[in-house]
Structure 1
Amino acid sequence: MAILVVLLPVRADREVFAHVIVGNTAELELADWEDDMRLAQAATIDAFALNIAAQDPNNGRSLDLAFQAANKLQFKLFFSFDYLAQGPWAPDQVTALLARFAPNAAYFKHDGTRPFVSTFEGPGRAADWPAIKHASNAFFVPDWSSADPQTAVHLAGGVADGLFSFDAWPAGDTNMTTAGDGAFAAALAPAAKAYMMPVAPWFFTNLPALGKNWLWRGDGLWDRRWGQIAAVRPRFVQILSWNDYGESHYIGPVRAKALGLFAAAGAPADFARGMSHDGWRKLLPFYIAQYKMAGVDGTGLVVAGVDEAVAAYYRPAPALACPSGGTTGNNAAFGEAVVAPEALVEDSVFYAALLNSDEGVAVTVAIGGMVVTGGFARVPAAGRGTPGVYMGSVPFGGNTGDVVVTVARAGREVARADGGRAISTECWGNAQNWNAVAI
């Protein structure tokens, strides 16, 4: 994968993290952790947020390996205590883990001094955190998204130093907006507390033993959301996720040894195996630099130079080629209107091209050798002919086979995305695989 060279003035007081499910790392060795961290560094991610469940017997080994790798590579890590996966954390367990690992040079410190700590849910245990913070000097930015922001910011006397939202997906057939982010910003502003904004590329899960089987709209989500991040300019950004294979929003590599969840949760098929999402890291150095730019908003973007590139993503089969697998579009448990999953997704190849200019540029999408000329439906905020990301899509058109997206200028190829799983009418366990391929 090419590394983009983006010459921009960036701010040191903005960071981007990636959410790592430690429960999916039990079989990883030191070399696997090192590889993950090198890939994250190449994507200019600042740290891994290590999601750890309270009763996971593999935490000790996994954390030891993670910190060993991080120290070797000078990468950073911090804890995100999961209060849902296997029950809430006892305060003394949290304090003990922070006492052991926070002094480590690889533990991410806010402003270089206070150990950064987050959660996945747990607002009902907010009262535990004043004592934990007193013992650890933690900078505390929890995800308490099950409580509304105005309530969450005042829990336990306002113990949180900021809030993280897990609301990274649109609930319907419309595109993601920043309305939810605005609610967090409004709640946090009076006390000048920090906001950690989420970004995710996709969502599909079918894990019957966990009672999970739904899809949220992912078409255009990844690139559009990074544009929203550049406009909102939150203090922190967290990518959901690096390795959550069971919800299909991973951007890290698919490791066969880490896919035991599918069998354990009774999945009809292993819907992450062979489904690379590497393409979603391709433009991250640009997106992250754009977010971190000092004193310039998204409309005033100045790019000194980029390596032009194109990324693409698509589902591996037409929506109606296979039975739905019982998957719903949206989730009734969250109060959302349930629709057929095919109502939320298009049978299209989506692409995003990072260009110095679109002047003289042509995009072609080949599916099984059938070539279609595409265009750009979305352009940088500064308009056509300017540096930035240009986005578009081309329908499957009934074609199957290997996918190749080519960007050419004046007839000369400048970027290509290929090598992903072919589009076919093959079913996975007699059901549709609503996951995507990103190249």
Structure 2
Amino acid sequence: MVRSEPKSVFAHFMVGNAAGMTSTQWESDIHEAQKAHIDGFALNIGPQDGYTDQILQRAYGAAEAIGNFSLFLSFDYASAGPWPADRVISTINMFKDSPAQFHYHGRPLVSTFEGAANSADWPNIKSATGCAVIPNWTSLGPSGIASHLDTIDGAFSWDAWAVGAEDKTAGSDMAWKESLAGKPYMMPVAPWFYTNLPQWDKNWLWRGDNLWHNRWQQVIEMQPSLVQIISWNDYGETHYIGPVYEAGIPQGASRYVSNCPHDAWRVLLPQYIAAYKSGNSVEIASPISTATPRQYRRNVGKSVEEKLVFWYKLNPSTSGSANGTTGNNPAMGQPVVAPGEVSQDQVFVTASVAAPSDVRVQIGDGTPSIFRASAPGIQHYSVPFNGETGPVKFAIVRNDQDVVTAIGQAITDECEDGNVNWNAFVGSSDNSLNEPKIRWLN
């Protein structure tokens, strides 16, 4: 009988973007991840990077020095061809005894980014290292993974985004979980996806919009064995939730990454992760939830810090050229959709409230939108641009008093170089201590 393991949450970390990171920066990132209640990093490594071992030494050393933070290796078979099996073995053996190495079912965990064509390597790799392998062989699909259950110890899916102008459902996750016949499923969670890197023939987007909040709701409902956030630092694909280091931004991505911080997506992670690990959905309240403030405080602690997190494109979809960006990726056989249909012109806001409150959103000089958060917990809303531009103002209001306020960057029709930036600006009330007092229009 497979024994139960604690549920854990990891963030996918692109080691290829970390060549210039110092040990101090590694420690800083680990501290930031710990604040967000992330348990560790899945370290994506490619076979072509001559600096991989050196960076891994730095990463494991930082995690060991800080403690209470885990790492595991994720071998990337797609970036520059497959890994030689002997090098996979030597790399696993180099780090498997580190105190920072994550163990699952008593064995050092490793994963992959694709590599299903090399599936026959893994029985020997497992024998030579004693590892447990939970690969991402998403290209096989849930039905294709069934023929590999004797080799793998679980599976991780990269299917974290919807195809086209629709919201992501948990349908593919349920199919993966069922196909594993009781083996662990590592569920992907991502906040966004836009990439425009001509040197790699990449220029498309998938729907982000409400994705960050909706996926955590799905995680809480599905209760997978493990969760992997995509990603901590993949700046070129804009699903990063970690700090941005300029040296790690791929060539050509600065134009859409600069001035678009994503750190605020970590602000509510402690509550999302606590709800996942406890299985207690009262922490993620719905508009019709009957949870009382006393019940909510009992589940999340006596002191509830009320917060706002928000994100949106800085340019309306029709304010400039799409710069060749498509909705969906035709190279994957997906039908092309207008990017403005996939990425909606809306402001997305998530509020954590300790008691029934109003949530107010105002774009520029437009009429404020007012939502009723009828119960304590995390609640999520969206507001269409409706042709408005200017700074975006937010507040949690109770008894006609502003409890929490924040101001986000201005939405503008003036696009840099005439091209729409399809990346998201992400902010929160935590980052707004020095912002001017909000004045609402009546």
Q: How high is the TM-score relative to the length of structure 1?
A: 0.89
Give 1:241 deviation, angstroms.
0.4
- Superposed counterparts of 1:118-197, under 5 Å: 118-155=111-148, 158-189=150-181, 192-197=182-187
Structure 1 equivalent of residue 358 of structure 2? 362
Cα pair 1:274 1:421 within 8 Å, conserved? no
Cα pair 1:18 1:238 within 8 Å, conserved? yes
Give 1:295 deviation, angstroms.
7.7
Structure 2 equivalent of residue 310 of structure 1? 308
Q: Residue type matched to 1:430 in 2?
A: G
Structure 1 equivalent of residue 413 of structure 2? 425
Distance in 1 of aligned mates of 2:140 and 2:54: 33
Structure 2 equivalent of residue 40 of structure 1? 33
Residue 17 of structure 1 aligns to a residue whose secondary structure is strand
Q: Residue type matched to 2:396 in 1?
A: V
What CA deviation, in whole Å up to 9, does each residue of 1:241-276 have, x standing for no partner? Answer: 0000000100001122221x124xxx5x52111211
What CA deviation, in whole Å up to 9, does each residue of 1:213-236 have, x standing for no partner? Answer: 101111111101100000000000
Bigger relative CO (Cα 8 Å, ≥ 6 apart): 1
Give 1:133 deviation, angstroms.
0.7
Identify if the C-alpha distance between structure 1 residues 12 and 133 changes in structure 2 by more than 3 Å, giving closer, same or farther.
closer
Residue 369 of structure 2 aligns to a residue whose secondary structure is strand
Structure 1 equivalent of residue 9 of structure 2? 16
Q: Residue type matched to 1:320 in 2?
A: T
Aligned residues: 410
Give 1:402 deviation, angstroms.
2.5
1:279 aligns to 2:275 (yes or no): no
Structure 1 equivalent of residue 21 of structure 2? 28
Distance in 2 of aligned mates of 1:114 and 1:436: 39
1:239 aligns to 2:229 (yes or no): yes
Distance in 2 of aligned mates of 1:243 and 1:132: 28
Q: Residue type matched to 2:378 in 1?
A: V
Give 1:70 deviation, angstroms.
0.6
Cα pair 1:153 1:162 within 8 Å, conserved? no
Give 1:60 deviation, angstroms.
2.2
Structure 2 equivalent of residue 7 of structure 1? none
Give 1:339 deviation, angstroms.
1.0
Q: Residue type matched to 1:352 in 2?
A: T
Identify if the C-alpha distance between structure 1 residues 136 and 256 changes in structure 2 by more than 3 Å, giving closer, same or farther.
same
Q: Residue type matched to 1:80 in 2?
A: S
Cα pair 1:318 1:347 within 8 Å, conserved? yes
Q: Residue type matched to 1:185 in 2?
A: K
Q: How high is the TM-score relative to the length of structure 2?
A: 0.88
Structure 1 equivalent of residue 436 of structure 2? none
Residue 88 of structure 2 aligns to a residue whose secondary structure is helix
Moved more, 127-136 or 305-314: 305-314
Structure 1 equivalent of residue 433 of structure 2? none
Structure 2 equivalent of residue 374 of structure 1? 370
Distance in 2 of aligned mates of 1:227 and 1:271: 29
Give 1:331 deviation, angstroms.
1.4
Residue 147 of structure 1 aligns to a residue whose secondary structure is helix
Give 1:370 deviation, angstroms.
4.6
Give 1:431 deviation, angstroms.
1.5
Gaps of 5+ in 1: 1-10
Distance in 2 of aligned mates of 1:115 and 1:348: 43
Give 1:322 deviation, angstroms.
1.0
Distance in 2 of aligned mates of 1:186 and 1:225: 19
Structure 1 equivalent of residue 404 of structure 2? 415
Cα pair 2:351 2:359 within 8 Å, conserved? no
Structure 2 equivalent of residue 6 of structure 1? none
Identity, in percent, stands at 43
Structure 1 equivalent of residue 109 of structure 2? 116
Give 1:171 deviation, angstroms.
0.3
Residue 158 of structure 1 aligns to a residue whose secondary structure is coil
Structure 2 equivalent of residue 397 of structure 1? 386
What CA deviation, in whole Å up to 9, does each residue of 1:336-389 have, x standing for no partner? Answer: 2211100112222110111233x2x2222233455513326xx7xxxx42x322
Structure 1 equivalent of residue 79 of structure 2? 85
Structure 1 equivalent of residue 432 of structure 2? none
Cα pair 1:123 1:152 within 8 Å, conserved? no
Cα pair 1:53 1:83 within 8 Å, conserved? yes
Cα pair 1:25 1:62 within 8 Å, conserved? yes
Moved more, 127-136 or 429-438: 429-438
1:99 aligns to 2:89 (yes or no): no
Identify if the C-alpha distance between structure 1 residues 296 and 429 changes in structure 2 by more than 3 Å, giving closer, same or farther.
closer
Distance in 1 of aligned mates of 2:56 and 2:414: 39
Distance in 1 of aligned mates of 2:115 and 2:5: 30
Structure 2 equivalent of residue 4 of structure 1? none
Structure 2 equivalent of residue 327 of structure 1? 325
Cα pair 1:16 1:239 within 8 Å, conserved? yes
- Superposed counterparts of 1:199-218, under 5 Å: 199-218=189-208
What CA deviation, in whole Å up to 9, does each residue of 1:64-101 have, x standing for no partner? Answer: 21111111111211100000011110111111011110
Distance in 2 of aligned mates of 1:60 and 1:426: 44
Structure 1 equivalent of residue 431 of structure 2? none
Residue 405 of structure 1 aligns to a residue whose secondary structure is strand
Distance in 2 of aligned mates of 1:257 and 1:414: 39
Distance in 1 of aligned mates of 2:98 and 2:277: 26
Q: Residue type matched to 1:404 in 2?
A: K
Distance in 2 of aligned mates of 1:398 and 1:151: 47
Q: Residue type matched to 2:71 in 1?
A: L
Distance in 2 of aligned mates of 1:32 and 1:424: 34
Residue 402 of structure 1 aligns to a residue whose secondary structure is strand
Q: Residue type matched to 2:96 in 1?
A: A
Distance in 1 of aligned mates of 2:65 and 2:393: 38
Q: Residue type matched to 1:206 in 2?
A: N
Distance in 2 of aligned mates of 1:30 and 1:79: 18
Distance in 2 of aligned mates of 1:253 and 1:389: 24
Gaps of 5+ in 2: 428-442
Q: Residue type matched to 1:177 in 2?
A: T
Cα pair 2:396 2:403 within 8 Å, conserved? yes
1:223 counterpart (213, 227, 230): 213
